[in-house]
Structure 1
Amino acid sequence: MSSNNFQMTNIRFIKRIVVGNDNPQNMRTEAEVQEAMDLVNRCLSSTPRGYLLNVEKSFGLYNIGEHQIVLQYAVYHIGFERKPLYLDDHVAA
């Protein structure tokens, strides 16, 4: 067994990543949603490795004119022992 166990006290940086559409006034394209999911996967598999702390799942029901739309999204909270350098290049959403 590895002695490198996950400890909440070691978490120094938390990245919040929204995957999906959470604002009917600012709809994200499929490419932007895929980019957010790719960032989640990179955070969980790259070095330094992130730890999935929480996932918020939500939806909203909106009336726009005569149309009714449903927006779904998930918010991933990923904790790190130190901030990864690749997140400095990523523009905050």
Structure 2
Amino acid sequence: MSTGNFQITNMRFIKRIVVGNDNPQNMKTEAEVQEAMDQVNLCLSSTPRGYLLNMEKSFGLYNIGEHQIVLQYAVYHIGFDRKPMFLENGK
């Protein structure tokens, strides 16, 4: 664990993770949404530990045929001092 204090100026890598459905043309399954949330939890609890810099909450109303649907999603911006090894494989 790091003994230093959190400094925003130390952030060298920011990971953006979308949790939920943000595109009505490409709906995500429950498993894909859970996988994204698991990635958020991994980023916040693994070494190097990520810091939640920002969280966007958004929704959209869409008309598809005669139906109106609401899509909700959250976007997490997680900052790291350096890019973690567990994110090296392109996730």
Q: Normalising by the residue count of structure 2, what TM-score does the alignment of the two structures yield? A: 0.95
Q: CA separation in 2, counterparts of 1:3 and 1:87?
A: 23
Q: Which runs of 5+ in 1 are unaligned?
A: none
Specify the alignment match of 2:9 in structure 1.
9
1:20 aligns with 2:26: no
What is the aligned length? Answer: 90
Q: CA deviation at 1:52?
A: 0.1
Q: Which runs of 5+ in 2 are unaligned?
A: none
Q: Normalising by the residue count of structure 1, what TM-score does the alignment of the two structures yield? A: 0.93
Correspondence 1:1-93 to 2 at 5 A: 3-91=3-91
Q: CA deviation at 1:90?
A: 4.1
Give me the identity figure in percent. Answer: 83
Runs of 4+ in 1 over 4 A off after TM superposition: none
Amino acid at match of 1:68: Q
